[in-house]
Structure 1
Amino acid sequence: MERVKTRFISFEGSEGCGKTTQIRLLKKRLENRGEKVVVVREPGTTKLGERLRKILKHPSFSLSPLAELFLFEASRVELIKQVIEPGMAENSWILADRFTDSTLVYQGIVRGIPLKIIEQLNALASSGIKPSLTILLDIPYQCSQLRIKKRDGSKTTTDRLQDEFENSLKQIRQAYLDLAKREPQRFYLIEGTSSPQTISARIWEKVKNVFEL
């Protein structure tokens, strides 16, 4: 196997799939080996990204699909320039909670913006950078619904994006599975209803194999 040069791993999947937990567990494993790890989220991480995240999620904003797409891409540009590229230059591990695949799924498949346009904008905003490995945590849409309701029981704020995409969970899941079939060499599909420890162990074995650790 040819050695992968960029230590960039993205985590994708429907809401409630367990991305945050698995990123935290992988970060701990890598840091225990003495590795530098940078965790990012989309949209977010940078000052601009976090501001845009609040706008995108705020229930008082009614955004057109194209405006929504441009805000995601603007956040991505800053993330690449301020965090990801500098991290790569230092040979740090980059663990991303969502990246360009999410844009294809949510703004493309669900919102209906042509995928060719999104792919061009993704490439421009990300300077052509793609994850070397994408972990796709797959859960049934019914499971996603239950996890969202359980998680949101203690929340006091409303998430516009989550609310608007809640009725599209089945479509979102299938869109991710289709992307994984298109790029099987990059995607690693994991059944996300297993225990967090079991999933973490499987991810770690995959990471060790791909990056020759």
Structure 2
Amino acid sequence: MTRPHAGLFVTLEGGDGVGKTTQAALLHEWLAGEGRTVVRTREPGGTEVGVLIRDIVLHHRGEVAPRAEALLYAADRAHHVETVVRPALDRGDVVIQDRYLDSSVSYQGAGRVLGRDEVRELSLWATDGLLPDLTVLLDLDHARARERLDAADKPFDRLEAEESAFHDRVRAEFLALAQAEPDRFLVLDAAQPAAELAARIRSRVARLLGESVGGRG
């Protein structure tokens, strides 16, 4: 499979508390040790504009209407891709990103019941159709994920604080997205040891890095 850019775009997805930050850090460490230039980022909040949007969508004390929430995430994504992600991919860097459009489809499309297709099309328009080369879905039952969040002993943001039914819809949507695009997704049981998960992610990334633009390198 060929890629439309010189770099590699890897996203990590899943519910809150599944270990995305840990796996992003381990992948970054390994790639850097292999001599790769890595851009590690997140959504929302990967730019100065994104930090402001992140504060609104995750920490604003008042209500944010569901459609407004979806549009704010799309605005952050449009700016982030234009100013950070595409330039890095064009340089040939590896981009490791915590959350991307699949989070919007799951959280706003399913969690907020705005509709999968509508939210996906909004994100694709915002990013001019950019999709990840690999999406790692860390799957974990919400009850176990909540235990991890409780153990972290920090205040919940607006989405973390949602009821269990919301998070059940989000998890089901993530799994449905992975089933629909098996070539792009790597689905892992997030209850497994971090080192085991990291090894499986490295294995898939190593295979992808053996492919250059236009074919095998």
Please give the alpha-carbon distance, in whole angstroms, between the structure 2 residues aligned to 1:166 and 1:86.
Answer: 38
2:214 paired residue number: none
Which blocks of at least 5 consecutive residues in structure 1 are unaligned? none
Which blocks of at least 5 consecutive residues in structure 2 are unaligned? 212-217
Quick check: 40-49 or 115-124, which moved more?
115-124
2:159 paired residue number: 161
Change (3 A) 1:116 1:172: closer
Q: What does residue range 34-45 of structure 1 map to in structure 2 within 5 Å? A: 34-45=35-46
Q: CA deviation at 1:165?
A: 5.3
Amino acid at match of 1:184: P
Determine if contact 1:55/1:61 at 8 Å carries over to the other structure. Answer: no
2:202 paired residue number: 204
Cα distance per residue 1:61-88 (max 9 Å; x no partner): 2011000011101101110111001101
Q: CA deviation at 1:206?
A: 1.1
Amino acid at match of 1:192: A
1:184 paired residue number: 182
Q: How many residues align?
A: 209
Amino acid at match of 1:7: L
Q: Are residues 1:129 and 2:130 paired?
A: yes
% identical equivalent positions: 32
Please give the alpha-carbon distance, in whole angstroms, between the structure 2 residues aligned to 1:28 and 1:165.
Answer: 35
Instruction: Tell me the C-alpha RMSD between the 2 structures.
Output: 1.5
Secondary structure of residue in 1 paired with 2:186: strand
1:174 corresponds, among 162, 165, 172, to 172
Please give the alpha-carbon distance, in whole angstroms, between the structure 2 residues aligned to 1:60 and 1:118.
Answer: 24
Change (3 A) 1:103 1:160: same
Q: What does residue range 3-18 of structure 1 map to in structure 2 within 5 Å? A: 3-4=2-3, 5=5, 6-18=7-19
Amino acid at match of 2:185: F
Q: CA deviation at 1:158?
A: 4.6
**TM-score for the superposition, normalised by structure 1:** 0.93
**TM-score for the superposition, normalised by structure 2:** 0.91
1:62 paired residue number: 63
Amino acid at match of 2:130: I
